Structure 1
Amino acid sequence: KPQTPHDTAVEGQRYSFIDIDGKNNRSIENNLLAKIDDWYIPLISKIDKSEGLTDEDKDKLSLFVSYMWFRVPDYQKQFNELADGMSKHFQRFIYSSGEEGRQYHERILRENPAMGNISFEEIKKSVKENESPIVPHKNEYLKSMMKMGLEIADLFRQMEWIFFHPVVGSAFICTDSPVVLGAPKDYDANSFYGVGIITPGATKLIPVSKISCMIMLDHGDKCSHYTVGQDQVRRTNLVLAVNCDRYMYSSSRNLLASLVKRTGIANTKKGKRIRMH
């Protein structure tokens, strides 16, 4: 049924953590994210007008983009997938390591009396057969968000920035995956190594408004603005669309309908974000 984006995507207490008193603490949202969000309109106003950015502007935009990347559900899913994969990998390794595994098991029982007298063999079998996801506590995700937001902002600040602006009559979409990482042109999709933000040649695509799309390149300090034609806008929107998590946003219903039809994303499910070797 027709409804507003707020009704569709609202999630209460998203950035609240459980403090030492067992209460929901909203200081991350109130003291950090709200302040960063206040920078958005003045910064985007400058970018949309192709105005120059001061060093302070660049510092703020780096933080804003970085925290946008790590505060969305898409990153939380990546974090949970990584925690699940690493936990299961460790458990299967330790419970197949003979005496060392038994010593580990005995220590866990001593530290967790509520587990009772469950045997090493029972746990070993459970670990081997368990396919249920291991979900970390939300506090762990929020700690990761806070840490990664600062670290990646520092890297973003050291990169070359380009801003694309569409010709009149075209517009960029925005999605709930605000940063799209693109592989270098010569990247082997079957490579053991993944693509990271500092991989040489990797691009970072960030739609910041319907008339501005940011592209971060390799190390550098240039900040350039370019007007791009409809073909480039169309290609950019297709990349953004296929990488969205659940939602796309645009003032044009026809544009969204066209992208959904061309990409087929309404009938596909986003695959695993993390590969464990």
Structure 2
Amino acid sequence: MNKTILVAYFVAITSLNLVAAEPSAFGAGNLDSSSPYGLTSSEKAVLQNKKNLKKIAVKSNNQANQVESLRERIDGLQSIVESLSRKSQKNKTELASLQLKNTEELKNSDEYEKRLGEVTQQNSLLIKEIKELVDNITNNYVTKKEFNKLVYSVNKFKDLVSKELKGSTKSKKTDLDSMENAEIEKKAKAFFSKKYYTKAIEYYSHLILKNYKPATSHFMIGQMKFKRKNYADAISFYKKSAALYSKASYMPELMLNTAISMHKTGDKKNAKAFFNGVISKYPKSSQAKSSKKYIK
């Protein structure tokens, strides 16, 4: 009786270890990882789009900052010009006032000449300031044409990004769209049997898009990735297949090949957990015998 309890306890612990190990082992395909691996084609596309969007966002922000900086500088220039204009107008008003005032206010001609000289000197200084401002504009500020060209460039860039994002979401029609799913599956199996893996992957990928037997299609693509020794991708497709249908007849082979793929990629700890899982769940299968050889 105690021996029976001990065996049951051992099986339960082994199963729990396998369940605990599977999520960690099937960590392939994690897009938030600093070094993601085992990505499917769609996951790779998502990751690449994230990288492209990040680059675009940085470039767009830089250009936006340049435009904003130019606007601030132009606003500052406008304030300076307005200030100089007010000074000039004030001097004109004072000069006109001096000329119109009668001798009752300015009886002394020397005082008149003095005041007139002061105004003339102020105007000379104002002309000098305007000259320096013009030189500063020539050296440091962009022309209106250049500014408009920059704005046009930014807007054109945004339009291109928008079109690119819209274009990436559109699915391209192929000859497979006119075929029945069952016919596509039949041809995919034929390609697989002849080891025409490129065509087989194309057909099974189409079935996945159509959501036709997705668990089997993911498994078959995983098998071809495995045969091509692309073990990281194989793990990713096996993971998705197991998540879609964990009771499939091919599960012993899926788990064995997953364990081998992990072993090949250096993940020895999780590989051992999967080998033990095959032995525990399918003790009489040929995959269990192979797993024992790997463990030894």
TM-score, length of structure 2 as denominator length: 0.22
Which has a greater percent of strand? 1
TM-score by length of 1: 0.23
**Structure (1/2) with the larger helix percentage:** 2
Which protein is bigger by CA-based radius of gyration? 2
